[in-house]
Amino acid sequence: MTPLPRFHRLPAERREAILAVARAHFAEHGPASASYNKIIEAAGFSKTAAYQYFDGREDLLAAVLDDVLDRLLGVLGPWTPARDEADFWARLEAGSSALVTHLRAHPDDLALADAAVGRARGEVWLGWFGAVVVDGQRLGFIRTDVDAALLAGATAAVMRAADEWALTALRTAQPTEPAPPGSEQVWSLLRGLWNGGTDGGAGRAH
């Protein structure tokens, strides 16, 4: 389920405007409940014109979720090799903090983040975590007795669970409250996974 080729030939500003309108509707009403007719009307399409760009509602939703995922990955940026273990953890925490900041500032992305990650194309989402795992193995503190692809998948699963936990806290937090506590628990989980369960509650390494 993807937009038809004609959608991708639209000017970038028009594509972004359409996705912004659709994102707001899906965020407000939910991916399963938002009205396709209301979305295309708000985007300035007739129903006939809309079918030149999307086969239907599910194509439009897929385009919105892929765009949200791209926005989240854009906030994280590509993973580049760390200088040492301390630098590795600092970068991982900086990425997590940047995501929290972005999601606080973009409530539509926050509302759709779970669905976007759930739909995530494996080669895109797992690729980011794969780069993290390979870098930690290079630095010598992530285990090598487990296949890197399996470890990347397990890491992504832990982070998905952590994201859902953090996103729930964000949705109920007041805008002026600090980021929800508990990141140390996430780092401790990762270290337990990455070093064979011998973290002992130590959390990050510095």
Q: Looking at residue 204, what is its pLDDT? A: 45
Q: Looking at residue 201, what is its pLDDT? A: 39
Count CB-CB contacts under 10 A for residue 133: 26
CB 105 within 8 A of CB 82: no
List, in order of start, the domains of the chain with CATH numbers. 5-65 (1.10.10.60), 77-194 (no CATH)
> Is the torsion defined by CA of 168, 172, 174, 180 positive or negative?
negative
* Torsional class of 180: left (φ above 0), alpha (ψ -120 to 50), beta (otherwise): beta
- Residue 14's SS3 state is helix
Largest CA distance in the chain: 61
Low-confidence ranges of the chain (pLDDT < 50): 199-206
Put simply, whether the predicted model's pTM sits higher than 0.75 gets the answer yes
Structure tokens at 43: 């985007």
Q: Looking at residue 179, what is its pLDDT? A: 53
Give the contacts of 190 (CB within 8 A, at least 6 positions apart): 155, 158, 159
Q: Give residue for tokens 């936990």.
A: 165
Q: Looking at residue 173, what is its pLDDT? A: 63
Q: Looking at residue 133, what is its pLDDT? A: 95
CB 94 within 8 A of CB 143: no
